[in-house]
Amino acid sequence: MSQPLAATPSLEDVTESIIFPPGDIYSDEPPLESDLHREQIDLLIRLIKWWWRDRQDFYATGNLTIYFSPNQKKSEEFRGPDFFVVLDTEKKDRKSWVVWQEDGKYPNVIIELLSNSTASVDKGLKKQIYQNTFRTPDYFWFDPNNLELQGFHIVDGQYQELVPTESGWLWSQQLGLYLAVYLGKLRFFTPDGQLVMLPEEESNQQLQQVNQQLEQTNQQLEQERQRATILAERLRAAGIDPEQIF
């Protein structure tokens, strides 16, 4: 009698049986909604990395999968925030954020970018996960299209909505920075209200300051030239040759 053929394992079964070495689980996030979303995520990452360029104790990224299964399986319990920051961790590149390989650490700050297809999840299910499972202290959402910005901070285990300043800014306790809309983009501001700038923006600002100083110097020189001209005319009117004074 012929023996029944063994069932051929599926790709999913094979994948699930693989024990991944530390740090070898790739992110598995879908494409971003639009150029606006991609540009906004890139902007936030570049800004915080530049602002904290001398620090080695944080990880900032975007559109990267966070795996947090208690069974340590990559097919269970995962989310991909649009932007997040983890504090008190090693500053290095990663393929994904695997909680059980990162001393059980979850993000300290999460920012989700709203879209028509994700807004209800970002405001509902994800907010609950970030509050109850991640225990992420600061959670914000921002809509790159209509510029809606809202933020929350955990108090006694529950997200409490942040009250904006008169200028509409929201304070991130974890980052020590304000979040606010500036020229149609979500940006960071220092506690004293200064815009956190990209390196090229800082260079442009320095160049503008140099140009302003040169312009002021030229204006002062022109004023001195005009005074000298007036003085020379008055001397000539008094019968004195200005060239013979010195």
Q: What is the pLDDT of residues 102-133, one digit of tens each?
A: 999 999 999 999 998 899 999 999 999 999 99
Kindly tell me if the per-residue pLDDT of 62 is higher than 80: yes
pLDDT at 243: 77
71 vs 15, residue with greater confidence: 71
Mean pLDDT is highest, among 11-20, 166-175, 225-234, for 166-175
Task: Write out the two tokens for 165.
Answer: 């300043």
Measured distance CA(200)–CA(59) in Å, rounded: 22
Query: pTM of the entire structure?
Result: 0.74
**Own/partner pairs, 221-224, CB within 8 angstroms, 24+ separation:** none
**Confidence band, pLDDT 50/70/90 cuts, at residue 51:** very high
Q: In the chain, where do the E strands start and end?
A: 58-61, 66-67, 78-79, 83-87, 97-98, 109-113, 138-142, 149-155, 158-161, 170-172, 177-182, 185-189
75 vs 180, residue with greater confidence: 180
- DSSP secondary-structure letter at 244? G
pLDDT at 72: 87
**Confidence band, pLDDT 50/70/90 cuts, at residue 19:** very low
Kindly tell me if the per-residue pLDDT of 15 is higher than 50: no
Residue corresponding to tokens 């997040």: 84
Percentage above 90 pLDDT, the chain? 63
pLDDT at 176: 98
Kindly tell me if the per-residue pLDDT of 166 is higher than 80: yes
